[in-house]
Amino acid sequence: MTGFGVRLADAKARRGPLCLGIDPHPELLRAWDLPVTPDGLAAFCDICIEAYAGFAVVKPQVAFFESYGAAGYAVLERTMAALRAAGVLVLADAKRGDIGSTMAAYAAAWAGDSPLAADAVTASPYLGFGSLRPLIETAVAHDRGVFVLAATSNPEGATVQQARFDDRSVAQQIVDQAAVINRTAGQTTGPGEPGSVGVVVGATAFQPPDLGALNGPVLVPGVGAQGGRPEALGGLGGAAPGQLLPAASREVLRAGPAVSELRAAGQRMLDAVAYLAAG
């Protein structure tokens, strides 16, 4: 396969720069008149699959599947497979982070040959960026991507992410280390190709890090229900044109359960962010 960074850039060019979330929160299942059971979860996902088939990237929130145990993971596997069969890139929002052999096991699950492996996965670097090496190496070997948390939308995150060391914030150091990996990979994948290691910068981040040297995608969650405004995306962190991947979940999901209404809400969000995310 082609590297994730290239595939993502192509998908965004063809289908627009928007990542739509599948967040089957119990309150949403009830709002859609679905039972809060594995069967209700499966029905929720089937609606999302049909509505989101024409978009570039879909991000299932793993926690809401995990809460159902093995049955939830079975629904997640089937949902991811159906989305990919429809040509949609799947970003597993798992936020995994650990060390050594445990991180290697997470890497095999989410970025290797497991049925859970997605096109890309989110990861937490707060045990040290180097702890993510097994995940990044596995992802690169399988042409998958990793989005590393840098500056998140939750206000509590700033106490860690904005702490300074060697005159740089922790968030900036994470971006800079991701940039090094993308530059190193670029020596073999080809100059000018977008890297496959991205970062997560929330739409409501008060002091976003400098993204100019990343040469990788920037996932921007929090647009809509979490208070992020589409108009705030323009020039976020000095991002290059086309670098941002805005993400919206519940703001769109509230339009369900009708497939047509859900698809229309996704298209409205895409229209709202497309020209701003482009630069």
Integer Cα distance of 234 and 197 in angstroms: 22
Integer Cα distance of 55 and 155 in angstroms: 30
User: C-alpha distances in angstroms, 99 versus 66, 126, 131, 176, 228?
Assistant: 21, 11, 5, 21, 33
- Supply 176's token pair: 């800079």
Report the Cα–Cα distance between both ends of the chain, in Å, rounded. 28
Pick the catalytic residue from 25, 78, 95, 254: 95
Catalytic residue flag (residue 59): no
9, 240 in Cβ contact below 8 A?
A: no
Integer Cα distance of 265 and 257 in angstroms: 11
Integer Cα distance of 95 and 102 in angstroms: 14
Tell me the catalytic residues.
Answer: 95
